[in-house]
Structure 1
Amino acid sequence: MMLKTRLFGRTYQFKNIKEVLAKANEEKSGDILAGIAAHDTAERVAAKVVLSEVALGDLRNNPVVPYEDDDVTKAIQDSINQEAFCKIKSMSVGAFREFLLKSNEDEIKNIQDGLTSEMIAGVTKLMSNMDLVYAAKKIHNLATCNTTIGEKGTLSSRLQPNHPTDDLAGIMASTMEGISYGIGDAVIGLNPAVDTIESISAVLNRFKEFMVKWDIPTQNCVLAHVTSQVAALESGAPMDLMFQSLAGSQKANAAFGITVQLMDEAYYLMKEKKSSRGPNFMYFETGQGSELSSEGHHGADQVTMEARCYGLAKRYHPFLVNTVVGFMGPEYLYDGCQMIRAGLEDHFMGKLTGLPMGVDVCYTNHMKADQNDVENLALLLAACDCTYFMGIPGGDDVMLMYQTTSYHDVAAMRDITGKKPIKDFNQRMEQLGILENGKLTEKAGDPSLFTV
């Protein structure tokens, strides 16, 4: 395996595939902070040249965290379909990029289960932003909880009615307002301020009561730690989706208080006790840089570690996965340019992995980013059939204190792209007079519809 090239009269020699992957990455402040980024543009180009000639089989045989040391690597490697892998193992990363750009959806899905996360991250590093949009648009991964997400022609949204004290009246006021804007077909999902069994159960029950009373076809979720959700589930709380944040290594997941074994146990308990009807009932969130923040990156770059999150998520056949792309802050994505690139990378990698992939298009106030960056990324993602976005009052989360997409942003993107919510949800919104032919009516934005 040749890991050197000559460029501009200089020979570039890389010590291993992990270094090639790191230095081929587009500039990210997190990789610079970790001391693994390319020193300059020339070295980055040299790493891309070397990476383009590496065989996909070599990427599988050289995971960035060894198989024997890491349960995430084990989960990814053990899931590989050998027949699909054999079709592409001799292909170079550069040839794989060409394959993805010229092939149709069926041809891509024919080899999808033969891919490891390192292969997916590797090809991502050779793609331009337009490449990432063009290739991602071809892939549609459907999943069914109470409803089915990911159909062509749909753009879904998570209704995120967060409250700084988890006051039920405040949560439900935001929920009713969000539904009145046609938001929430992906899920009504709360990030709790209080992680107790009693509070989680109370919110889940209130969401379910509202959904039943008004015949709203969607899913409920409280994004507490998985162990708290398990306790709430065992106490009888109606839970459609179970949530957990994931990282790309065993060590980083330990910082989240989870292991693959714990997630396996939670998955099978949820399968037995869930209140939803379909086969997909897990919800995961990720974000570039989380492994570095917990010193669990093992010297690997943040794009490759992010791809490994999706490889682990696939194990649980999730209904929802999204990257909270700018939430980690400028230590990992310095500005709007890096945030936009990361959002396109993550969305593409999630879709290529086989996930119903959404993006929380967001930033924190100490990042060098603004609302225009959010809107630019959201429009690019809408163009490549991103599965769902967040819907938050005014785009400003009063509990998590970050900026993301609002109810109005989602409505505007649906109007621009001609897309609608999930079919069942859309039909109910039309019955309530909130939508007409997929567009908001004069009744939209009036939560008093639900106070009678």
Structure 2
Amino acid sequence: MKLQTKLLGQVYQFKSLKEVFAKANEEKSGDRLAGLAAETVQERIAAKHVLSEITLKDIRDYPFLSPDEDAVSRLIDEQINETVYMAVRNWTVSELREHILADDTLGSDLRKLSTGLNSEMIAAVTKLMSNLDLVFAASKMEIITCCNTPVGQKGVLASRLQPNHPTDNVEGMLASLREGLSYGIGDAVIGINPVDDSVESVKRLLHATHDFMQDWKIPTQNCVLAHVTTQMKAIEEGAPADMIFQSIAGTEAANKSFGISQSLLDEAHDMINSLGTSKGPNRLYFETGQGSELSAEAHYDIDQVTLEARNYGFARKYEPFLLNTVVGFIGPEYLYDNKQVIRAGLEDHFMGKMHNISMGVDICYTNHIKADQNDMENLGVLLTAAGVNFIIATPMGDDCMLNYQSMSYHDVATLRQTMSKRTSPHFEGWLESMGLMEKGKLTGLAGDLTLFH
């Protein structure tokens, strides 16, 4: 395996494949904080050149984190379809990129190919792609999952309605819920981040959303994004949950810092399949974001794009209904500015799709990052063009509980109208029955909360 190259008379020598991966990454403040980033643009180009000539077999044969030492590595390796892998193992990363982007390579071809790739291979090809490459490649793939209703159809931009409240007040949450629904938001899920991670609070919010959905015959699914163990206790006590949520990471040690393990997720998966209120078959919801492993001091000198890809390899086992990256939430320590946030959103979306995952993005930023709402709208347009399965929406794009900026109900409606996208078919039928939508466009009743009284 060749780990050096000569560019413009200068020789660049890399100590390991792990170093090549890290230095081939587009500029990320998290990689620089960890001491992994390329020192110059020239060194980054050299690393990309070396990476382009590495074979997929090399990547599998030289794991960054041994399956003998890490449960995530083990799970990723166990999932590889050996027949598909054997057919492509001698491809270089450059050849993989060319195949993905070829006009005659269809989305169905990529779905089959992905079963023979591990997460590091998918991360590698991502590093060689431009932003437009990432948009084009992801747009080929249609990945449909179903909880109560399906999401992921071509031509559909679904949304998670996030009616958070700073005190988990049910009436306050329902007011935000009604407003979101009146703008056509919520076909992916009604998902609430609770302030109080207690069983009683989770039960109260699950019952409130479930009852509202039943009363108004809304074809969607509910979820309260507490810790998985809290949700499991609430479900055991009879709370009506359509799915179970959990944040995950790309190493076993980082997952331990979240208070989870593969065995715990196996147990949660079994529970929601037996006690959940949805018809399924997809009943788990995961959330990720570049940099979480570094926060947990469990990154093992692996760059954050590769670690993020490993999140999706871990999630793939469970065939989740939804997974989204919260792309700008952690802050400038990991994604410094608008350019890095936009790049990360496109990377994450493509890598999730290449793992056959129903992939969404929380297009967001914190107030101390060098980005603003125009940047998020730019990323929203790019991701909509890339065929993102769903995005998250909050009232006026401002989450009053988590204190970060996201997309608004109006933003989602505008993206749909501008880029000729629809809501999910069952949900659109309900919106039409309420007089809120006609021929795929919102009517003059949009925003009228008196419809729900």
1:83 corresponding residue in structure 2: 83
The superposition leaves residues 141-175 of structure 1 with CA deviations (integer Å, 9 ceiling, x where unpaired) of 11010001100111100000000000000001111
Counterparts in 2 of 1:29-428, with a 5 A limit? 29-102=29-102, 103-428=105-430
Q: Deviations over 1:157-202 (max 9, x none)?
A: 0000000000000001111111111100000000000111111011
* DSSP 3-state at the match of 1:188: strand
Alpha-carbon separation, structure 2, partners of 1:437 and 1:14: 57
For the 8 Å contact 1:362–1:404, the answer to whether it is kept is yes
- CA separation in 1, counterparts of 2:71 and 2:27? 29
Shift of 1:424: 0.4
By how many angstroms is 1:110 displaced? Answer: 2.1
Q: 3-state SS of the aligned residue for 1:218?
A: coil
* Structure 1 position 227, deviation (Å): 0.4
1:359-412: CA deviation from partner (whole Å, max 9, x where unpaired): 000000000000111000000000111111111100000000000100000000
Give the C-alpha shift of residue 63 in structure 1: 2.4
Distance in 2 between residues matched to 1:60 and 1:442, nearest whole Å: 56
Q: Distance in 2 between matches of 1:268 and 1:324?
A: 26
The residue type equivalent to 1:135 in the other structure is A
Structure 2 distance, partners of 1:426, 1:61, is 48
- The one-letter code matched in structure 1 to 2:332 is P
Query: Offset of 1:10 from its aligned partner?
Result: 1.2
Distance 1:417 1:115 in 2: 32
Q: Counterparts of 2:399 and 2:63 in 1: how far apart (Å)?
A: 37
Deviations 1:193-237 (A, max 9, x none): 011111101111111111111010000000000000110111111
Letter paired with 1:186: A
Give the counterpart of 1:443 among 434, 442, 445. Answer: 445
State TM-score, norm by structure 2: 0.99
5-14 or 92-101, larger mean C-alpha shift = 5-14
Return the alpha-carbon distance in structure 1 between the equivalents of residues 415 and 358 of structure 2: 18
| Inter-partner Cα distance in structure 1 for 2:84 and 2:171 | 51
Contact 1:87 1:111 in 2 (8 A): no
- The letter for the 2-side match of 1:350 is G
Unpaired runs of at least 5, structure 2: none
**1:13: which partner in 2?**
13
For residues 63 and 185 of structure 1, the distance between their equivalents in structure 2, rounded to whole angstroms, comes to 39
Per-residue Cα deviation, 1:98-120 (whole angstroms, up to 9, x for no partner) = 00000111221221111100000
C-alpha distance in 1 between matches for 2:393 and 2:371: 19
1:44 partner SS: helix
Question: Gaps (5+ residues) in structure 1?
Answer: none
TM-score when normalising by structure 1: 0.99
Q: CA deviation at 1:448?
A: 1.7
Structure 1 residue 244: Cα displacement: 0.2
Paired with 2:306 and 2:295, the residues of 1 have a C-alpha distance of 15
Q: Decide whether the 8 Å contact of 1:189 with 1:223 is kept in 2.
A: yes
- Give the superposition deviation at 1:447: 1.5
The one-letter code of the counterpart of 1:411 is: A
RMSD: 0.7
Q: Is the 8 A contact 1:222 1:243 kept in 2?
A: yes
Contact persistence 1:56–1:92 (CA under 8 A): yes
Find the aligned partners of 2:99 and 2:225 in 1 and give their Cα distance. Answer: 38
Identity %: 55
**CA deviation map 1:31-71 (0-9, x unaligned):** 00000000101110010000000001111222221111110
